[in-house]
């Protein structure tokens, strides 16, 4: 979809959203290891507009977390990153670490899954949030701390002024995740990348955190990239969805396209495999045979072909020719990378 990124003069993008603040095009990530080159991400494109939420969905090894780390410039030196990452029109790939440091945490921030390891056990949480602010603003420690307390209050930490003096171990998992979100938001970033922000949390606390992220977006117009394996969470908060499989985009479109008109057999398989709390049990869950491939094991053809229930309907082509993203019927912008030209029927 090169025309999508080039075509910025159009007032609207997908689903009538304004011009994207983050645009990623043809992103490739390859790890140089002793065993040779391992491709983790092989050419993905996505973009997200202010106030909108893009969910990147995939199973382990799909490259979803590597993609977000690449956008943030957080990959180790043995990772080779190519492609385009435009933040407000500015290219991030190739920037020096000094330049990246000025952008990271300021214009674009990341929330990790594990809040405990994202916080330093030796410093009070107020100090840590203030430090994140002082890195990008020339203010006194006192002023920064005032800002930190305001942020902690905003993310719903009760009696924030006192709690700012407390240390990470004195907080529960949900409260720690709030602190990490406060730290990510303290510089008012344009883009927030949240990598499985609620996976480690209980479902009642997850509901609190997802509501908090929605409130923050509504108030500050932050663009959110949500990385998740939980289709329930995705259905609730995403505007657009990108489904990744083996380092590639399998399908993307609006959240309704994905959940009501899934065009890729893998997306359909994921939906069928998910048990539902709101419906009576099914006699059997639909399954996808086998397990996701390990990175680097794919050679030619469609990476999903060995597990695909529809490959026999297409034949040789799935083994020999790699499918590209092609448009599908939907809310204007809906693409799937599958040789089966029509929407797959549900098979068990």
Partner 1 sequence: MSTDELLHLKDVKKYFGLRGAPWRKAGAVKAVDGVNFVVRRGETVGLVGESGSGKSTLARVATRLLDPTAGTVEIGGQDVTRVRGRKLRPVRRKIQMVFQDPQASLNPRQSVGTILTTPFRAQGIRPTRAQLVELLRQVGLSEEHLERYPHEFSGGQRQRIGIARALAVKPDLLVCDEPVSALDVSVQAQVLNLLADLRDDLGLSYVLVAHDLAVVRQVANRLAVMYLGTIVEEGPAAEVYSAPAHPYTRALLSAVPVPEPGAKRDRIVLTGDVPTPIDPPSGCPFRTRCYKAEDVCATVRPVLEPVAGGEHRVACYFPESPADLSSPPLSERTP
Tell the burial category of 45 from Cβ atoms under 10 Å away from its Cβ (0-12, 13-18, 19+).
buried
SS3 of residue 314 by DSSP: helix
Question: Could you tell me how many residues of this chain bind partner 1 (CB under 8 A)?
Answer: 52
Give the shortest CB-250-to-partner 1 separation in angstroms: 12
Q: Which is nearer to partner 1, 23 or 195 (CB)?
A: 195
Rounded Cα distance between 169 and 163, Å, is 12
Binding residue (CB under 8 A) for partner 1 from 207, 221, 319, 331: 207
Instruction: Verify binding: residue 38, partner 1, rule CB under 8 A.
Output: no
Smallest Cα–Cα separation from 155: which of 182, 187, 176? 182
Instruction: Verify binding: residue 71, partner 1, rule CB under 8 A.
Output: no
Binding residue (CB under 8 A) for partner 1 from 63, 269, 296, 323: 269
Q: Which is nearer to partner 1, 14 or 133 (CB)?
A: 14
Q: Which is nearer to partner 1, 129 or 157 (CB)?
A: 157
Binding residue (CB under 8 A) for partner 1 from 43, 221, 292, 306: 292
Instruction: Verify binding: residue 208, partner 1, rule CB under 8 A.
Output: yes
Give the shortest CB-172-to-partner 1 separation in angstroms: 4
- Biggest distance spanned by C-alpha atoms of the chain: 68
Instruction: Verify binding: residue 278, partner 1, rule CB under 8 A.
Output: yes
Instruction: Verify binding: residue 126, partner 1, rule CB under 8 A.
Output: no
Q: Which is nearer to partner 1, 81 or 182 (CB)?
A: 182
Smallest Cα–Cα separation from 39: which of 236, 303, 325? 303
Which among 32-40, 44-52, 146-154, 230-238 is the span making contact with partner 1, rule CB under 8 A?
A: 230-238
Instruction: Verify binding: residue 169, partner 1, rule CB under 8 A.
Output: no
| CB neighbours of residue 17 within 10 Å | 18
Rounded Cα distance between 318 and 160, Å, is 57
- The interface mask with partner 1, positions 209-228, x = CB under 8 A, is -xxx----------------
Rounded Cα distance between 278 and 174, Å, is 25
Residue pair 305/318 in contact by the 8 Å Cβ criterion: yes
Q: Which is nearer to partner 1, 34 or 278 (CB)?
A: 278
Instruction: Spell out the residues 6+ positions from residue 120 whose beta carbon is closer than 8 angstroms to its own.
Output: 128, 168
Give the shortest CB-254-to-partner 1 separation in angstroms: 8
Smallest Cα–Cα separation from 176: which of 135, 208, 136? 208
Instruction: Verify binding: residue 233, partner 1, rule CB under 8 A.
Output: yes
Instruction: Verify binding: residue 291, partner 1, rule CB under 8 A.
Output: yes
Residue pair 182/155 in contact by the 8 Å Cβ criterion: yes
Site for partner 1, residues 234 to 253, rule: CB under 8 A: 234-236, 238
Pairing of strands 223-228, 191-195: parallel
Q: Tokens 């539902």 sit at which residue?
A: 276
Q: What separation in angstroms does the CA of 274 have from each of 80, 212, 269, 290, 297? A: 35, 26, 9, 16, 26
Degrees (nearest 5) of the Cα angle 207, 210, 213?
150
Q: Which is nearer to partner 1, 107 or 257 (CB)?
A: 257
- The interface mask with partner 1, positions 296-335, x = CB under 8 A, is -----------x----------------------------
Give the shortest CB-291-to-partner 1 separation in angstroms: 4
Q: Which residues bind partner 1 (CB under 8 A)?
A: 59-60, 156, 172-175, 202-208, 210-212, 229-236, 238, 255-256, 259-260, 269-278, 280-282, 284-289, 291-292, 307
């Amino acid at each position: 979809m090169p025309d999508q990124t080039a075509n910025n003069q159009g007032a609207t993008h997908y689903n009538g959203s304004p011009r994207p603040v983050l645009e990623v095009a043809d992103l490739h990530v390859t790890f140089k290891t002793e065993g040779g080159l391992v491709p983790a991400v092989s050419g993905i494109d996505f973009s997200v507009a202010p106030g909108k939420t893009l969910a990147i969905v995939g199973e382990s090894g799909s490259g979803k977390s590597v993609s977000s780390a690449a956008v943030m410039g957080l990959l180790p030196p043995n990772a080779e990153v190519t492609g385009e990452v435009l933040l407000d029109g500015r290219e991030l790939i190739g920037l020096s670490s000094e330049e990246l440091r000025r952008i990271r945490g300021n214009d674009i921030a990341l929330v990790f899954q594990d809040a405990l390891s994202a916080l330093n056990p030796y410093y009070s949480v107020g100090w840590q949030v203030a430090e994140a602010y002082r890195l990008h603003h020339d203010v006194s420690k006192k002023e920064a701390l005032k800002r930190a307390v305001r942020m902690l209050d905003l993310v719903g930490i009760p009696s924030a002024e006192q709690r700012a003096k407390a240390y990470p171990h004195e907080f529960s998992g949900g409260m720690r995740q709030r602190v990490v979100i406060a730290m990510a938001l303290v510089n008012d970033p344009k883009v927030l990348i949240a990598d499985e922000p609620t996976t480690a949390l209980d479902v009642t606390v997850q509901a609190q955190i997802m509501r908090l992220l929605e409130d923050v977006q509504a108030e500050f117009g932050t663009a959110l990239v949500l990385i998740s394996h939980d289709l329930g969470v995705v259905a609730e908060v995403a505007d657009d969805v990108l489904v990744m499989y083996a380092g590639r985009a399998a399908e993307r479109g609006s959240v309704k396209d994905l959940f009501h008109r899934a065009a890729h057999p893998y997306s359909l398989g994921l939906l069928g495999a998910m048990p539902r709390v709101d419906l009576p049990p099914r006699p059997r869950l639909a399954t996808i045979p086998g397990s996701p491939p390990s990175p680097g094991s794919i050679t030619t053809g469609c990476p999903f072909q060995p597990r695909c229930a529809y490959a026999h309907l297409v034949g040789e082509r799935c083994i020999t020719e790699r499918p590209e993203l092609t448009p599908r019927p939907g809310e204007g912008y809906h693409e799937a990378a599958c040789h089966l030209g029509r929407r797959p029927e549900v098979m068990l």
